Amino acid sequence: MEKALIDVMKREHGILKEQVALIKAKGVVTPAGFAELQQLKELLQEHIKQEDRLVYPRLDMAAERDIHLKALLVRFRDEMNEITTTAEKFFKYYTKPTPTLEFARDVGNLFSMLTNRIITEEKLLYPHLIPLQER
């Protein structure tokens, strides 16, 4: 079950990364690129819901017996709260493409946060799901 769950989460990560690449290819300040940015918002919200529903409850149960995993989960939740807050502020502030340096910086920051989060989840968090399949 957990291997299949990890595969699903990684596929969703791939979709998020492809969406970022599509936005970059179309140009974030173009109407088409900005529309794809709005699609990224929807994809990200759905992915977070999936993780909250399927991944974290399993890890929370395992963390009851693993102090290191418990600390890791606190860190990941704190980081996700920061990412979510940053993304919400971004999408509330930018309601249309804005060809400014500030917009470019904020888009870059959003993409960087998302990319880094995907990497750390796959390397540090998802491996903790593998032993759970044996239970």
Per-residue model confidence as pLDDT tens digits over 65-121: 999 999 999 999 999 999 999 999 999 999 999 999 999 999 999 999 999 999 999
> What is d(CA 114, CA 63) in angstroms, rounded to the nearest whole number?
25
* Cα separation values, 38 from 5, 24, 73, Å: 26, 13, 29
pLDDT of residue 132: 78
Per DSSP, the residues of the chain read -HHHHHHHHHHHHHHHHHHHHHHHHH-TTSHHHHHHHHHHHHHHHHHHHHIIIIIHHHHHHHHTT-HHHHHHHHHHHHHHHHHHHHHHHHHHH-SS---SHHHHHHHHHHHHHHHHHHHHIIIIIGGGGGGGGG-
Please compute the mean of the pLDDT values over residues 35-44 and round it to a whole number: 97
| pTM, full prediction | 0.92
Number of domains in the chain: 1
**Residue entry with tokens 């990412």:** 83
Q: Domain containing 94: what range?
A: 2-134
**8 Å CB contact between 97 and 33:** yes
pLDDT at 2 > cutoff 80: no
**Residue entry with tokens 């493409």:** 97
Per-residue model confidence as pLDDT tens digits over 3-20: 899 999 999 999 999 999
pLDDT of residue 1: 58
